[in-house]
Amino acid sequence: MTNPLILSLRGMTKRFGSVVASDAIDLDLQRGEVLALLGENGAGKTTLMNMLFGQYTPDAGTVHVWDDTDHETVLPAGQPQAAIDARIGMVHQHFTLAENLSVLDNILLGAEPLFRLGRHTRDAREKLTRLMDDSGLIAPLDTRVGDLTVGERQRVEILKALYRDVRILVLDEPTAVLTPQEADTMFASMRAMVDRGLSVIFISHKLHEVQAFSDRIAVLRHGRKTGEMATKDADTGSIIRMMVGEDLEVPPRVAGVPKKPILELKDIHTLNAGGGQGLSGLNLTVHGGEIVGIAGISGNGQSAFAGLVSGLVQPQSGAISVNGKAMLKPSPKAMLDAGIGRIPEDRHHDGIVSAMSVAENLVIERLDAPDVQTRGFLRKSQIAENAQDLTQKYDVRGPGIEARSALLSGGNIQKLILARVLETDPDLILANQPTRGLDFKAASEVSRRLFEARDRGAGVILISEDLDEVLALADRILVMHNGHLVEADSRDRTVIGLMMAGGRAA
């Protein structure tokens, strides 16, 4: 491409203590270009984008932006308002929304004059209606964000950026909670905007999306840029080699051998809660030795289902049994004691205690174990030894096992949770979006470990909005829609995608 530059990053460097998260990175973006920024978890992608957006102050480096008249400006470091004024928008991987405000208020937050008598929202509603029609991203403008599903919050984040008429848009894992049809619609809308001059930096671990949507690919590894290539010249193998420095193979799906029933749910009904869909007459049996994949658009009852299996949601009616034992009073502890391990959907809110150390979070669900405590006193040396072993085994990268877990990247928090769950050899694993935000190498490792758990006799429930992940891992596929589970009679991607949208019954 020969379009003029709209953005140039030069020598961007950021250190967190002894960890160099970004090491003298140069990166250019042209007008009307989609640049895919790839790398393993912890490679420095989000850190680099946070410096661009002014949320981190770089230790060295400059950000250069050109306006519509080709006038060059060097943005002041560490000032998000300067990036906003330069019409740079960022859709974060982890939401930055005020849960107590409505969707409309969140989108307008910071976009309205501070001193003005009254509010004038009619024009804003009209503009947002046009944006939603153009993008296919629908959000209920008058609903409180705290009552939205994860998928709906992601759509609000994208609309919030588009509302500000951005010239440069950074998308950090934007399709993690979208169906294939929704993702295709979003990309088609984005491509139309790119053709009109929008420039996009696109972070994703879904290589098929990168190859379909981007014009150019830049790869980071261990905080350094390892190379660039035109997307038309790239294939999956060459991208992975540049990302991880070696060839990787996707573990093939070999059918499991179902064994005895582990979990049985009979005619389960739950109430709608927090704006989320409840369950209606749900029946399901999960056997040891099988992976049951549950596909569906976010907000159709997956949260209630995951909460039920975790002991966080109480059934209004129906029966639950684990290993043939009736769970009369299901609770998180009762489900853990029954042999259920959970990988939660929201790893920050439900997966860790962010103020506690990495080592402490790795043992937080088994505090009564003899290698963790004796007579109420924590065995700190054993906890540290366990953490050293698991962080190495699961490649959890960060500032150290004694550091607060909040300092880990999203992908490394996910690996921490996987280590905590899988190492206890549970009878049933509830894997809710287990590879969301993970790079190709880490996602392949998760797949391998779930296959291993299945093959040793564990049952696995895989809840995922990534249909490709469900097709790659599941022995049986069910679709959740409006609180109902329907078994898919086909493994065809298009058919299941339509079922997810409620357009076809099995």
Query: How far is residue 416's CA from residue 437's CA, in Å, rounded to a whole number?
Result: 13
Q: Which residues on adjacent β-strands are paired with residue 172?
A: 203
Q: Residue 489 gets which letter from DSSP? A: S
Q: What angle do CA 344, 151, 202 make, to 5 degrees?
A: 100
Q: Superfamily assignment of 251-339+426-436+454-506 in CATH? A: P-loop containing nucleotide triphosphate hydrolases (3.40.50.300)
CA distance 425 to 349: 24
Domain positions in the chain: 5-244, 251-339+426-436+454-506, 345-424
Q: How many C-beta atoms surround the C-beta of residue 317 within 10 A?
A: 10
CA 359 – CA 379 distance, rounded (Å): 12
Please give the full DSSP string across 13-50, using - where no structure is assigned. Answer: EEEETTEEEEEEEEEEEETT-EEEEEE-TTSSHHHHHH
Nearest to 196 by CA among 81, 58, 33: 33
The 10 Å Cβ neighbour count of residue 223 is: 22
Q: What is the DSSP letter of 146?
A: G
Q: Do domains 5-244 and 251-339+426-436+454-506 have the same CATH topology?
A: yes
CA dihedral 332, 300, 413, 236 (to 10 degrees): 140
Q: In the CATH scheme, what is the code of domain 5-244?
A: 3.40.50.300
DSSP letter, residue 177 = T
Tokens of 195: 């053709």
Q: Please tell me whether residue 445 adopts helix, strand or coil conformation.
A: helix
Q: Interior CA angle at 476 toward 475 and 477, to 5°?
A: 125
pLDDT tens for the chain, 506 residues long, are 468 999 999 999 999 888 889 999 999 999 999 999 998 877 889 899 999 999 999 999 999 999 988 899 999 999 999 999 999 998 877 678 888 999 999 999 877 665 565 677 888 999 999 888 877 778 899 999 988 866 678 788 888 888 988 999 999 888 766 666 667 777 888 888 888 889 999 998 788 889 999 999 999 988 999 989 999 998 888 888 888 776 666 667 788 899 999 999 999 999 886 556 789 999 999 999 999 999 987 778 888 999 999 999 999 999 999 999 999 888 999 999 999 999 998 888 888 998 999 999 999 988 888 888 888 888 899 999 999 999 999 888 888 899 999 888 777 888 899 899 998 899 999 999 888 767 777 788 888 889 999 999 999 999 987 788 899 899 999 999 889 999 998 888 888 878 887 755 44
